Amino acid sequence: MLKISFAAPGLPKTGALVAGVLAKGVLTAAAAELDRTTDGALKRAIDASGGRFSGKKNQILEVLAPAGLPKQRVLLVGMGDAKELSSHDLEELGGTAAGHLTASGVTEAAVLLGGDSGLPGASERAARYALGALLRSYRFDKYKTTEAADKKPSLKKLSIHLKDAAAARRAWQPLEALAQGIFHTRDVVSEPANVIFPKSFAAEAQKLSQLGAKVTVLGVRDMQKLGMGALLGVGQGSAQESQLVVMEWQGTKPTKQGPLAICGKGVTFDTGGISIKPAANMEDMKWDMGGAGVVLGLLEALARRKAKVHVVGLCGLVENMPSATAQRPGDIVRSMSGQTVEVINTDAEGRLVLGDVLWYAQETYKPRLVVDLATLTGAIMIALGTFHAGLFSNDDTLSERLLAAGKATGEKLWRMPLGEDYDRIIDSDAADMKNVGNRYGGSITAAQFIQRFVKKGTPWAHLDIAGVTWADKAKPTVPKGATAFGLRLLEHMIAEHYER
């Protein structure tokens, strides 16, 4: 993990110095000071770029060993219009700088805020910059045993220099807790299915008890007694025993309103079951437990920063395998709610898991709201690509809060429709419902299925994160691979609206 520190202004003898440049090539106070130290080398470098570096957001210009800075380099990072910089923009600036430096051979770097660090809110901005750098530094490489040294990330330490370093450290503490939760999510989602399966995921969750969370694990017999036939049917073809993990963070005394319930789909590997998937890209299905991974990391982040809120995180953990004992198309299962489901396609398994998990959450905890996250449908990727997650909800206030949190954190949502016309598509001739509809509106009919397990009067939102859980290309704060999408927006929404 990249080591972050905060220090007083100065010119440390590190391998690289980082400073910002505003739109139209206007130097910030820190960059201007460096320019004077280097006898105008930075301004000349900007002019020599032929207009290709103009200070636009996240542009990079590197100046190697300018006069006055022996054996050092200066990294200029475009900031765009200072008046428009949001917290998320600052994180992206930090991530852009860290992403460039980690492949540069530099082991230590310093971000110079200079005279800008005396402005109101500078400590919070510095902490956000640090968060972006730390998030970008993540790398899942534990199984790379022969990687050449020059291919490994070089950047080990990043110091941020500003006038009130102590205030920045205080602002950094809850953000560092958030980053640790994100990294834990990325770790479990990145692990192969022979390492993370229902019981080993449950073991990861039990580590949260060390942070003060209450962790309960229900096995197959427990769920049989509860009547969770929908969830258990999905995992019955696997040698791995299904689990239901409940993580409770009680940062406040219980209230009449009840806790927030956050539920995650945890299919640790999805072959599709008897309705088996094509072989191509099936290895990606190790991250079909991305929703459960987010719930795990969210509860860790809340516990680490001692959030003043009562949250229950529930993860339905199964492995969907074809075998002599596997669920068959045409089988009818009885859910914990008492509703029966005709299983038309065994590859539409996540909604079966969530149906029982949501019902258990409502029966046991009487929550004030329920949010579920799931890598549920390929259809949502057809609709929204890999840039937004789908939001389905029965409550406008909850939807608005989630949409705003997504915008603030860069984890963008798009609200999709629900309605009786879609709901009728999953009516079954043989049972109360079937687990798939026709080929049209697949992400919507999947959400309609889940909604049948939401009790009347309970605010509910479903986030279909199938297109955003794994990144094929790196972004400023998200390396290629597991993203932990959804964790940040939920943590932000909780902090804004539900903490006391």
Residue 222 in 3-state DSSP? helix
Q: Catalytic one among 43, 56, 277, 415?
A: 277
Continuous segment of H or E residues that includes residue 157: strand 157-161
Give the chain's length: 500
**Using CA of residue 126, residue 128, residue 130, residue 136, what is the dihedral sign?**
negative
> Cα separation of 205 and 213, whole Å?
10
Distance of CA 473 to the CA centre of its chain: 15
User: What is the DSSP annotation of 346-396?
Assistant: TT--HHHHHHHHHHHHHHHH--SEEEEEE---SHHHHHHTTT-EEEEES-H
CA-wise closest residue to 25 among 75, 89, 76, 70: 76
**Using CA of residue 158, residue 162, residue 164, residue 167, what is the dihedral sign?**
negative
Plot region of 106 (φ>0 → left; ψ -120 to 50 → alpha; else → beta): beta
Active-site residue 151, yes or no?
A: no
Per-residue exposure over 373-391, b if at least 16 CB sit within 10 Å of its own CB, e if not? bbbbbebbbebbebebbbb
Whether 425 contacts 441, CB under 8 Å: yes
Active-site residue 351, yes or no?
A: yes
> Cα separation of 430 and 413, whole Å?
36
CB-based contacts of 278, cutoff 8 Å, min separation 6: none
> Cα separation of 218 and 137, whole Å?
36
CA distances from 349 to 79, 154, 265, 377, 474 (A): 45, 42, 10, 10, 30
CA-wise closest residue to 179 among 217, 118, 128, 254: 128
Q: Catalytic one among 125, 351, 434, 488?
A: 351
CA-wise closest residue to 276 among 345, 331, 215, 344: 345
CA distances from 247 to 203, 208, 343 (A): 12, 8, 30
Return the active site residues.
277, 351
